[in-house]
Amino acid sequence: MSEKKFLILSQRAAALAVHVVRRVSPAQAAGLVVLTLAGAAAFGFAPDTTLDVVPTHPVVRTLPQPEILGSESSAPQYWQEERVLRGDTIGSLLARAGVDDPAARAFVQSDAAARALYQLRPGRPIEIATDGEGRLVALRLLVGDDDVLSITRDGERFTAAHGAPASDTRVSVASGEIRSSLFGAADDAGLPDAVTLALADIFGGDIDFYHDLRRGDRFAVVFETRYVEGEAVATGRVLAAEFVNRGQTYRALLWRTPDGHEAYYDDSGRSSRKAFLRSPMEFSRVTSGFTLARFHPILKAWRAHRGTDFGAPIGTPVRATADGSVAFAGQQTGYGNVVILRHGATYSTLYGHLSRFAQGLHVGERVQQGDTIAYVGQTGWATGPHLHYEFRVAGEPRDPMTVALPNATPLDAAQRAAFASATAPLLQQMAMVQAADDARVAQR
């Protein structure tokens, strides 16, 4: 019974304390709460007990206003970005941005430095700043890969100036799966054409991209992209690439050797390229293969065809399939205009039916793999434009599409440690791309 009374007294004391706190000063209330909580077991308030009301009066203080950054006279600026559309004029762009400023229009029409605004390139961004009344405050436009036009307003005066844009090089990644062709898969992956061609060149010694591709083959690539004012304007080097063809994985990592030479190697330090490319052209089609018995379309007789014919339009660049020197550049009856390259003591290559030679090509000149040496033609015994290509071992023609190609020189043991350290980040990026690909495939 005594415990129950104690509870009732405590509850009433707490309720009364809340009521009193609302009627007394903060100092009195704090003391009263402490007393209530600490001594509720010792005493209670009698019913109908009242306390004298403590007189209060309001206090008003003037606080300093917060400081406003910036000049009081500067007008607010509202930036927005527009894209140049086909058929756009500077007038239509300003109107779309909500610019209502006859003075600004008059300036861009009369100032010589602002004439670039009348040669707009579709797709380029233009940044426009206006004030609260729709007047032009500033404008920025990338008019060239290395030129930015800036227009600024100071009161009623405009100034136009050209300057170097902010630029940087970023690393981009992309991956894709072959469904019909390499270029089709590359387009689906948003890969620039220059990178696609680089992929074909890097793996050209192992993969015939005209015959060997299969549906389901996959690729991944890490490459550089140059950005100017936040816009991608050019593609740089391929830093790392992987291609899975018919279940076989090929990998290439770019590394600069101590002597300054850049080349591609697999993750064990072996050169990713062969000493010879399979094809002397980036993309073409085989119109006649290597055979010991072919009916010659001009001689009308059965003869051996000791090379491979690649069909291509006249003027298509022809590239050296390996490092070497020019042994012959001139005319030979059946071959027409022909170039013969020597690659050491054992190997040589021949390129026939050419329309013309590369400028400055001469006997004894050193060429590098991939250099343009001539252009497709129809000279000599040829019924249509094509390139006749021969691969010779000790002077004996071999089928360039099936012969075992020698590898380029691998890294020596002293270089492999530096190579492994420099390419470790590239391998990590490739692993991330591969993991994303695997996750995408698993979701299908």
Please state, as a whole number, how many other Cβ atoms lie within 10 Å of the Cβ of residue 272.
Answer: 21
**Which residue spans of the chain are classified as CATH 3.10.450.350?**
78-163, 167-274+413-444
At 186, which helix (H) or strand (E)?
helix 182-188
User: Which architecture does CATH list for 78-163?
Assistant: Roll (3.10)
> How many C-beta neighbours within 10 Å does residue 226 have?
15
Rg (CA), the chain: 40
Contact 281, 316 (CB under 8 A): yes
Which CATH code fits 167-274+413-444? 3.10.450.350
Distinct helix (H) and strand (E) counts, the chain: 7, 22
**Residues 349-385, buried b or exposed e (16+ Cβ, 10 A)?**
bbbbbbbebbeebeeeeebebbbebbbbbbbbbbeeb
128/139 Cα distance (integer angstroms): 5
Second-level CATH architecture of 285-398: Distorted Sandwich (2.70)
- CA nearest to 118, candidates 127, 108, 126: 108
What is the per-residue pLDDT across 400-433, written as a single tens digit (0 to 9) for each? Answer: 877 777 777 778 888 888 898 889 988 888 888 8
4 CA to centre of own chain: 79
pTM score, two decimals?
0.54
Q: Record the tokens describing residue 352, joined without a space.
A: 């026939």
pLDDT-based confidence at 355, cuts 50/70/90?
Answer: very high
Token pair for 129: 């700043």
Dist. CA 252–CA 299, nearest whole Å: 46
Give the range among 53-67, 89-103, 246-260, 336-350 with minimum mean pLDDT. Answer: 53-67
**Which residues of the chain does CATH 2.70.70.10 include?**
285-398
pLDDT at 85 exceeding the cut of 70: yes
Q: Over range 154-160, report the average pLDDT.
A: 90
Q: Are 401 and 289 in contact (CB under 8 A)?
A: yes
Residue 216 or 21, more confident = 216
